[in-house]
Structure 1
């Protein structure tokens, strides 16, 4: 790890909702392991409660990949609960937010060849994010830090315990215990199976939804409907709205979205502007292109070999998810898809086109380093607790429990009360439960 960081306070420290918010930016090498001379900024915001200057620090590791830390507008939910005993470091993971964001207009993207861009993207992996966390720990003069990881943030936390087992004190995970010795194909087999189960529940609860989904997809196969960015909405792209089913309010949100998609104009059946606006917001990766670009690569190194567009390959095995499934064939199931990323998205979504060739290189890469070390996980000094959701369509429960068994001191809390985004529904209750469980072990 490069320890010669340069520190910039790019914005003033402010006090909001009774707490101090201090911005910190460290200059870091882009490819930590490769010793490159290229550098990026990595940004974090330290939230300190009144009178809490000497409290320990917990790093909030955001879900994703490819999303920045939340920008708090009040101290509530999980943040309020953590601030009762911690200072909270909200990290913008490299490539996101104020941490040298990677998007089609980024200097790191514009003008780069496909191989150059792929090399840079390799420098955004969990091991590099962990090294950034270590740099912040060192900058703040701390012997150890605690971790709060939601979803992909839990994957990063597990990498942190694997690489620096003596640097981590306590760990709180929500929907974020990763599969550590499982081929990406098997991960996606499990997520498709969970999504199929959730989809059947959707069709049961909203009796007209299946007919509406089939009608929309048949229409899109034979019509040129345009989203607000003027890209064509294909049926296969529309089907990606099924990602909402992995969220607590997903069934209801999808039902309201599908309620009134059509009107007749000039005697022709067309989609309404309101519907296209809502679908456009749901299917576009403009806000977080990295989510799509590096999504499969987070599983690279679990076992040897390339990920090779696994989600696209595995969908062909599961009836109802096939790309060419016929919405008119009522004898066969027909489902929306989930968080899975497909190569054709890089053609159809304008915000992803600049990354298309580099994404292909990442999909073919077969020499990924391992992100998880079982020996270190078993020996880590950290004590932890994890909310494991029974019906999680993003991070399957069985894989999470297998990983918890490897860790020296990780207590799973298995619950069917929430979907993957449970902390958005009851962040204070979930984090409070995890803190209680960890306190019992200490």
Structure 2
């Protein structure tokens, strides 16, 4: 135990089965969690922080503020590094991992890992907080272990339940289209500049600091920023002056390429790209690169849309494409396993509407009206499946609302639970 920013920090590590439900002898994974305990708070209830993603570790706090600070007023906080991330056997391009193992990184196994920690800590029940994919994990948790959870707090994380993955991506593209049109309206020069950059990349070899050529289709993935609170402004600043003239030739500036390289690389979270679509998989159906297929249905998102002549021309958002595993050096080593994962059909069901309806957990959820990652309509439908979920419906934030007012959002959710 160490003491930092006025609180005690305790580390927990467990050796757990890769597959909790059909374990293979000797096949284990090390899972790590960091507990933050307020002074004199050894008997406080525990809230588990389930990180968004998938494929990213829990936060590494340096102060007791934001979401974590608000919970530390009433709880001990357990920051779980989800399997394959952080100190829980992080998986990257150098890892020897099979598609079968990648399929075991979904919410059902994460929840089973968490249950092992609950038992390890000797707790009958605990509370859960989930941002984005963390909320998906909470919905899976209550479907499987409803008696283990007292209260649940979700932010931007109510998944579509019983919905085909292709329909989910149709909804995300349509939400992004509306957001994109608003971006073009508010930042008038953005559309012509995006078209200009993409046309340039189709005819001129521009190389990122990591050594590979930047293609227009990869550049278009920076549209994920449109789902963040300051996304319009950060993209506008990026696009305001991307070119310079070098020996009489128009070229992209080195600082522009460096910033775009940071945005399009999965070096900090290769697992996110690798398993992203599998979180929507259901029994008997392969995902088959759904986002890649469905983009062709929505005008402006087509991969081969001509930047100079297409009637509509958009960036893409939280969508993963098979060619990224060829173009991004951080994904090369995971390419074969990812492509096999996209063809797997042996996924278990993650969510149980009957289980959600019978769980005695009291839940509250921030549901963002303009969320381009987790469609509003599907979130409302899932909220109604819970036996007791109090929604906080708002258009004040984008998907990353907790980055802008995490403490305030958690206070609102606490109030919804405590005031009933």
TM range (shorter): over 0.9
How far has the Cα of 1:354 moved from its partner? 1.2
User: Is 1:51 the equivalent of 2:51?
Assistant: no
How far has the Cα of 1:304 moved from its partner? 4.1
Q: Deviations over 1:372-394 (max 9, x none)?
A: 01111111121000000000000
Aligned residue number for residue 20 of structure 2: 32
Counterpart secondary structure, 1:68: coil
Q: Deviations over 1:388-424 (max 9, x none)?
A: 0000000001000100111100111110000000000
Aligned residue number for residue 409 of structure 1: 388
Counterpart secondary structure, 2:342: helix
Aligned residue number for residue 5 of structure 1: none
Structure 2 counterpart of 1:76, from 65, 81, 97: 65
Q: Distance in 1 between matches of 2:198 and 2:4?
A: 47
Q: Distance in 2 between matches of 1:93 and 1:181?
A: 24
Is this contact kept in 1: 2:103–2:347, CA < 8 A? no
User: Is 1:264 the equivalent of 2:254?
Assistant: no
Gap regions ≥5 residues in structure 2 = none
Aligned residue number for residue 87 of structure 2: 98
Counterpart secondary structure, 2:364: strand
Aligned residue number for residue 412 of structure 2: 433
Is this contact kept in 2: 1:32–1:123, CA < 8 A? no
Counterpart secondary structure, 1:269: strand
Q: Distance in 1 between matches of 2:376 and 2:404?
A: 19
Q: Distance in 1 between matches of 2:60 and 2:245?
A: 42
Note the 1:13-412 alignment, pairs <5 A: 13-36=1-24, 37-106=26-95, 108-109=96-97, 117-301=98-282, 304-329=284-309, 332-412=311-391
Q: Distance in 1 between matches of 2:236 and 2:222?
A: 12
CA RMSD in angstroms, aligned pairs only: 0.9
Which segment is superposed worse, 384-393 or 224-233? 224-233
How far has the Cα of 1:39 moved from its partner? 1.2
Counterpart secondary structure, 1:146: strand
Q: Distance in 1 between matches of 2:229 and 2:359?
A: 33
Counterpart secondary structure, 1:197: helix
Is this contact kept in 1: 2:94–2:333, CA < 8 A? no
Counterpart secondary structure, 1:96: coil
User: Is 1:421 the equivalent of 2:407?
Assistant: no
Q: Provide the aligned length of Structure 1 versus Structure 2.
A: 419
How far has the Cα of 1:33 moved from its partner? 2.1
Gap regions ≥5 residues in structure 1 = 1-12, 110-116
Is this contact kept in 2: 1:31–1:122, CA < 8 A? no
Q: Deviations over 1:100-122 (max 9, x none)?
A: 0001223x44xxxxxxx101111
How far has the Cα of 1:208 moved from its partner? 0.4
Q: Deviations over 1:167-186 (max 9, x none)?
A: 11100000000001100011
Q: Distance in 2 between matches of 1:307 and 1:315?
A: 14
Q: Deviations over 1:236-261 (max 9, x none)?
A: 00000000000000000000111111
Q: Distance in 2 between matches of 1:432 and 1:382?
A: 18
TM-score in terms of structure 2 length: 0.98
Q: Distance in 1 between matches of 2:147 and 2:360?
A: 6
How far has the Cα of 1:49 moved from its partner? 0.8
TM-score in terms of structure 1 length: 0.94
Is this contact kept in 2: 1:374–1:406, CA < 8 A? yes
Aligned residue number for residue 9 of structure 1: none
